[in-house]
């Protein structure tokens, strides 16, 4: 699991082409909601170590976040083979995150 939000984001076509399971997390390092979600994410990630994690810094004028219509942080978008299978906005529990991770495993 990545620790800091990366200022350089991939473009939408790169995200859509990613094989396998991916979590795309939008937020900022200074966001209180984002910081509060980190222990919950870490606990859920422990059961899904094979999931790719992209932690992207978001904000006004950032094209990747706009392409996903991100309005609040953190926004978690779960993909399998480039297709969105779940989305969470400001998750409040480890269980909520774990249910979204479990959807990645469903075929």
Q: Give the pLDDT of the chain (107 residues) as one tens digit per residue.
A: 778 999 999 999 999 999 999 999 999 999 999 999 999 999 999 999 999 999 999 999 999 999 999 999 999 999 999 999 999 999 999 999 999 999 998 75
Q: Which domains does the chain have, with CATH numbers?
A: 12-105 (3.40.30.10)
Residue count (the chain): 107
- The conformation of residue 9, written as its DSSP 8-state character, comes to P
Residue 10: exposure state from Cβ atoms within 10 A (0-12, 13-18, ≥19): middle
Q: What is the pTM of this model?
A: 0.94
Is 77:48 a contact under the CB 8 Å cutoff? no
């Amino acid at each position: 699991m990545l620790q800091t939000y990366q200022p350089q984001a991939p473009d939408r076509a790169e995200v859509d082409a990613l094989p396998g399971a991916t979590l795309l997390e939008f937020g900022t390092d200074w966001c209180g909601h984002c910081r509060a979600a980190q222990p919950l994410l870490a606990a859920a990630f422990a059961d899904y170590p094979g999931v790719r994690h992209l932690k992207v810094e978001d904000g006004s004028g950032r094209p990747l976040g706009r392409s996903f219509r991100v309005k609040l942080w953190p926004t978690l978008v779960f993909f399998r083979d480039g297709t969105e299978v779940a989305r969470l906005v400001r998750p409040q529990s480890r269980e909520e995150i774990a249910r979204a991770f479990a959807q990645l495993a469903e075929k």
